[in-house]
Amino acid sequence: MNEGNPRTSHHATRHGFNLFELVMVLAIMGIMAAIAAPRFGQASARYRADVAARRICKDLGLASRAARNAGASRTFKFERSGGAYTGAYTISSLAGLVKSSDTYRVDLSADPYRSQVDSVNFGGSRKVMFNGYGQAGSSGTIVLKSGDLTRTVTFDATSGKASIQ
């Protein structure tokens, strides 16, 4: 046998892909990415709107409990600038999230929420006051937007419960 001669031994097999196969794989990946991108955007908007709405519900409950625990009123108020809502709200006489010397403030236009406050209506006002017993002075609705998605938070003063629609 001619073991030393590479021509007479085994034929070398080529491993790899030809140009057509690579182009086909890239085309398929491009189609899949084009399908997935809008769905990812919708899922992100849904997540942001849901998280912002849940945060408002929890903070309405927090304001009620804080008023009841202190035996003093607390005001949950949405901020405005130039006639439009800024996306932020405060709870009076409650310590801030970062510094305890600050007022409790949540900005829904910032991460992770990145949502807009479209409208607020607590009996014609943009705030609701909780008395020293934790009871709200008025019912109301808050409409949030994230992308094309809208969430409405409805607050019932009688029961003290907030729900998301």
Do 153 and 163 touch, CB atoms closer than 8 A? yes
Model pLDDT, residue 9: 55
For residue 15, the one-letter residue type is H
Q: Give 109-148 pLDDT, tens digit per residue.
A: 999 999 999 999 999 999 999 999 999 999 999 999 998 8
Sequence-distant (6+) residues with CB within 8 A of 50 are 151, 164
Model pLDDT, residue 38: 78
Model pLDDT, residue 5: 57
**Domain 19-164 adopts which CATH fold?**
minor pseudopilin epsh fold (3.55.40)
Q: What average pLDDT score do residues 38-67 get? A: 92
Do 162 and 153 touch, CB atoms closer than 8 A? yes
Residues 118-145, buried b or exposed e (16+ Cβ, 10 A)? eebebeeebbbbbeeebebbebbebbbb
**Cα end-to-end distance, the chain, whole Å:** 83
Do 103 and 87 touch, CB atoms closer than 8 A? no
- List the structure tokens of 131: 């008395």
Do 128 and 141 touch, CB atoms closer than 8 A? no
Q: Give 32-41 pLDDT, tens digit per residue.
A: 988 888 777 7
Model pLDDT, residue 120: 96
Averaging pLDDT over each range in 4-13, 30-39, 91-100, which range is the top one? 91-100
Query: What is the residue extent of each domain of the chain?
Result: 19-164
